Amino acid sequence: MKMSKIVELLNAKVLCGEELLENEVHSACGSDMMSDVLAYVKDQAVLLTGLVNLQVVRTAAMMDMLCIVFVRGKIPSDDIIEFARDNGMVVLASEERMYPACGKLYANGLVGGALHA
């Protein structure tokens, strides 16, 4: 799925990485617990979260993720967006809650990907 499709499906605002939206991503995960993202996620390119702090973007960077979607209308602060931009990530913000946001992406073919080895 192109990241521009995520923007469309979730009616999301693009906070940074506009120029990367035509790149493809193949799997996603949703969590507010960064400990679990670090422990259970493998090769998922998109992180949906309702947690807003710098650790979210650092965690995503450590995991080589390409896109963060802040759900529930959360808007990250400028330092979060700046970090994401420096690390070549797309940041989106959607009014959707976590469950429908994940469901819409999944139903349109963005799967959960492999379990952690």
Partner 1 sequence: MSVPLKFHYDVHGEDFTSAGNASVQAKKALRQLGYDPNIIRRVSIAMYEGEINMVIHADGGSADIIVYPDYIEIVLADKGPGIPDVSKAMQEGFSTAPDNIRSLGFGAGMGLPNMKKHTDDMKIDTVIGEGTTITMRVNT
Binding-site ranges for partner 1 (CB under 8 A): 32-36, 38-39, 51, 53-56, 58-59, 61-64, 87
Q: Give the C-alpha separation, 72 to 42, whole Å.
A: 24
CB of 51 to partner 1, least distance (A): 5
Q: Which residues contact 66 (CB under 8 A, 6 or more apart)?
A: 3, 20, 23, 25, 45, 46, 88, 89, 90
Q: How far is CA 4 from the centre of its chain?
A: 13
Q: Using the minimum distance from each CB to partner 1, give the nearer residue, 5 or 43.
A: 43
Q: Using the minimum distance from each CB to partner 1, give the nearer residue, 7 or 49.
A: 49
CB of 5 to partner 1, least distance (A): 25
Q: Using the minimum distance from each CB to partner 1, give the nearer residue, 6 or 51.
A: 51
CB of 31 to partner 1, least distance (A): 8
User: Count of CB atoms within 10 A of residue 19's CB?
Assistant: 8
